[in-house]
Amino acid sequence: MYVRSADLSVNVSAGIFGPKELEDEAIEACLAPLRDVKLANLTENFAAVLGGRPPDFMDDWSVQVRNFARIAKAARKAGFRGIYFDNEAYYKPWGDYPRGVRLKDVPLADYQQQARKRGREVMEAMVAEFPDLVLIVLHGPYLSEARAPSPLFPQWQDRNELVGPFFAGLVQGSGERSTVVDGGQIYHLRTDREFRESFAWRKSAFPSTDVDCSFLPVDLRAKWASRVRHGFGVYDRPFRGRPMNPEILGSTIAHALRRSDSYVWLYIEGPTFLKSATDGGAPPEWIDAVRSARKSITP
């Protein structure tokens, strides 16, 4: 759920990972209308946080750490399941080395270590307020690992070198009760084999000695499979030359559900699924595709 005030004067989702401090009262006021609502279908809700304009990893992150702690506390009080963190660099290349860093002469390894530290601080602050938090991070650390195989994974590692280390830090700070989910925003996957191989690489190959990831600490590699849950994102539009229609959507969601050990999320840029077709919502064939996909994997 995108979190902002009704008059649009306060945008929590876009502001948490930004340069300004957001007060508890402002965040909680945006979520207050949902606090006592009993929803029949939308039973696992997540407060959206967008990749914004954070400071350089070498600078002071106390504001950002407090912001994440406050959105976690507000989400818990509102009965949410957790936080949905869209970690794409929409507004500033915060995960890009060296283009997006302030200290160009500092080695990549030092920035990776600092990004990991910031991720750990952010997660520890959130867990302190919401011990059972589920954090869905849309892109996993494959976005920073040069050995992520093509075409199974997007080859964007040359401009996201610090996204993976930040994710690893989130895992380090997650504690015993919270959950970090690699959201698997890999929209071009279509076949069962592609989903199976993507899941296996992220779960087992990525933390292995064969890949030998430079930003993944040795002590975290052995724990990776048990500490990180892996899901998938599905997109209702064509992507990277792959077509999309109701039939393809249904089979894609079904494959994703079968190969996920956590959440599968559907990103909608077409007609909304929250209105009827007569009110401008998605046509029945798109709704039926999702329902059929869920039914096909239900015991």
Q: Which amino acid is at 282?
A: A
Residues in the chain: 299
Q: What is the pLDDT of residues 2-11, one digit of tens each?
A: 999 999 999 9
The widest CA-to-CA distance across the chain, in whole angstroms, is 59
Residues 112/157, Cβ–Cβ less than 8 Å: no
Pick the CATH number of 12-230 from 3.30.420, 3.30.200, 3.20.20, 1.10.3470: 3.20.20
Residue pLDDT, tens place only, 208-227: 999 999 999 999 999 999 99
Strands 232-235 and 228-230: unpaired
Contact assessment for residue 4 and residue 30, using Cβ atoms and an 8 Å cutoff: yes
Write out the two tokens for 82.
């957790």
Mean per-residue pLDDT over the chain, rounded: 95
pTM: 0.96
So where are the chain's domains? Answer: 12-230
> Looking at residue 298, what is its pLDDT?
76
Q: Are 178 and 127 in contact (CB under 8 A)?
A: yes
Instruction: Return the pLDDT at 38.
Output: 84
Q: Tell me the pLDDT tens digit for each residue of 200-210.
A: 999 999 999 99
Task: Find the mean pLDDT for residues 68-73.
Answer: 98
Contact 202, 142 (CB under 8 A): yes
What is the pLDDT at residue 40?
87
Query: What number of other Cβ atoms are within 10 A of residue 144's Cβ?
Result: 29
3-state secondary structure of 7: coil
Span 124-183, pLDDT tens digits: 999 999 999 999 999 999 999 999 999 999 999 999 999 999 999 999 999 899 999 999
What is the per-residue pLDDT for 92? 94
Q: Is the pLDDT of residue 299 over 80?
A: no
Higher pLDDT, 38 or 191: 191
User: Which position has the higher pLDDT, 203 or 297?
Assistant: 203
Confidence of residue 43 (pLDDT cuts 50, 70, 90): confident
